[in-house]
């Protein structure tokens, strides 16, 4: 079974305003389907995460 790359950093808490995890930036739906989705979908989510994390950092300051 192949190992699926994950952005998880074991800081699992959801931001109520955005619906994103404050540790990795994913939504609950993205987290739930992560290991079952195809590489293209994971790549698309991964591409969005830096902007999400930047937005979260601004909110949490």
Give residue 3's pLDDT: 82
Rounded to an integer, what is the distance from CA 2 to the centroid of its chain? 20
- CA angle (56, 48, 1) in 5-degree steps: 115
pTM of the predicted protein model: 0.89
Helix (H) or strand (E) holding 32: helix 28-33
pLDDT band at 43 (very low <50, low <70, confident <90, very high): very high
Rounded Cα gap, residues 19 and 14, in angstroms: 6
Supply the DSSP symbol for 16: T
Cβ count near 46 (within 10 Å): 16
């Amino acid at each position: 079974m192949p190992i699926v790359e994950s952005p998880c950093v074991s800081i699992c808490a959801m931001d109520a305003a955005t619906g994103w995890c404050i540790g990795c930036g994913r939504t609950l739906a993205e987290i739930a389907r992560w290991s079952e989705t195809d590489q293209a979908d994971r790549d698309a989510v991964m591409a969005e995460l830096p902007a999400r994390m930047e937005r979260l950092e601004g909110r949490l300051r």
